[in-house]
Structure 1
């Protein structure tokens, strides 16, 4: 919503205006990219697909001090260090073509492999007798399944339509794997789009 229209009246109260104004300063792909692109393209609707209902899958262990510690130890690995260094280098160049370079890097097959190896795969190998890493990875897979189900439901409402899904880089490999199992969906390689 343009700043000139972000004022109390015509269906907006002061609390909503304050909230809308606050959202313009948050770094979130939903409104920095998704809503802005939808408005520019004249689209009527943006569908939310994020889903945290899977959070209940870790309720049994999430409050245990050992859970967070075990996951942090799993993340402390050479692939995480390499991934962090690559990310830091990309973020130094966020002007001009640097933003596209960052998107290209985040959407590469190598980035998907590193996301798994540094995070979820490392968690699966976490050796605690409580199997904390398996809880964590199960939560992540369930969350992604539910998010992909939301994408599929949104697409079902408009057969034959195109959809752009904007999601954090660690979700991408899971989304592609799950969406590739769906009938009547054809994925377009992000690398081709970002050329």
Structure 2
């Protein structure tokens, strides 16, 4: 009874606070630039995680999707992966980031042994090699760069270099150890949007790399860490709602036709429709905000999600800061898309591009 009273009081205080919300008059999204030079254009492609595609899915049917994205001619591609430098930093704080490292970071031991470089040294060497790279690198230079990208814990950029090689040059040499060849061959077949969409697209476009922009906040709360089971059980119960059921129904209908170019394109067009962001919110984060538990697990979860999205978007913005006036394609899990676009739209020097125009093959999207 006491717990119920506490929850009711908290809800009443919450309602009073919402009634008094302050809305600032300053809106950066209304103050777009630049006054001189080409704008930064950003296309956010919401994607399934391809590991969840049916087992019989044939990646060759991604061809038409790749064609449409290539026609837009992005000059920068970002992916939902944690960078090698961030993984290296998180390893120094196992209490806060141990689970994140275990789940999302890669073991670079083989590449370190093959190149003699740890992640920080390899990251510096990547920058040096890219700065000195000629317009027509030799196959040996590309193999060397691929090896260093692997040591820098940037495997998808390593795969970009590998895919830019002719098949007869995808071999080992003094810089490319046979163990690294095996890693790259395996990576090229991995069921992921990074390996099957981002890397082949970057290679088609003549790009040298992709940018890893994910960021998983760590846990600094002992109470939170000790209550993980209850936390996730609560969040999963909140996900059991009509909006989640509607998303599942959509998915099943479209997954039935994935083994065709048209089926894949239909899936991506559906995922990127304007109404999807609200549906995602209602099934996931909006549901979490209704969590009645005294521990406010749902609000913990939403805080994690908003923090992660903000940091990911800031990483995208930083890439554009270094190379203004470019077309940037961000490939990210579909649940991130609405938040990415909302946050990016607040930036003075970011202009969003309509995904539907690109995926429909509209000539306007290519201008």
TM-score (norm 1): 0.92
* Shift in CA distance, 58/12, structure 1 to aligned 2, threshold 3 Å: farther
* Shift in CA distance, 76/144, structure 1 to aligned 2, threshold 3 Å: same
> Which residue of structure 2 aligns with residue 75 of structure 1?
239
Inter-partner Cα distance in structure 1 for 2:205 and 2:222: 41
The answer as to whether partners of 2:257 and 2:264 remain within 8 angstroms in 1 is yes
Gaps of 5+ in 1: none
Q: Which has the higher contact order (CA 8 A, sep 6+)?
A: 2
Inter-partner Cα distance in structure 2 for 1:185 and 1:174: 15
Inter-partner Cα distance in structure 1 for 2:222 and 2:357: 40
Question: Larger % of strand: which?
Answer: 2
Task: Indicate which of 26, 43, 62 corresponds to 2:190.
Answer: 26
The answer as to whether partners of 1:116 and 1:122 remain within 8 angstroms in 2 is yes
TM-score (norm 2): 0.50
The answer as to whether partners of 2:189 and 2:195 remain within 8 angstroms in 1 is no
Gaps of 5+ in 2: 1-161, 361-367
* Shift in CA distance, 29/58, structure 1 to aligned 2, threshold 3 Å: farther
CA RMSD of superposed structures (Å): 1.7
Bigger Rg over Cα: 2
What's the CA shift for 1:86? 0.5
Task: Indicate which of 265, 287, 291 corresponds to 1:126.
Answer: 291
Inter-partner Cα distance in structure 1 for 2:170 and 2:296: 49
What's the CA shift for 1:6? 4.3
Inter-partner Cα distance in structure 2 for 1:146 and 1:157: 17
Inter-partner Cα distance in structure 2 for 1:72 and 1:83: 15
The answer as to whether partners of 1:120 and 1:137 remain within 8 angstroms in 2 is yes
Question: How many residue pairs are counted as aligned between the two chains?
Answer: 194
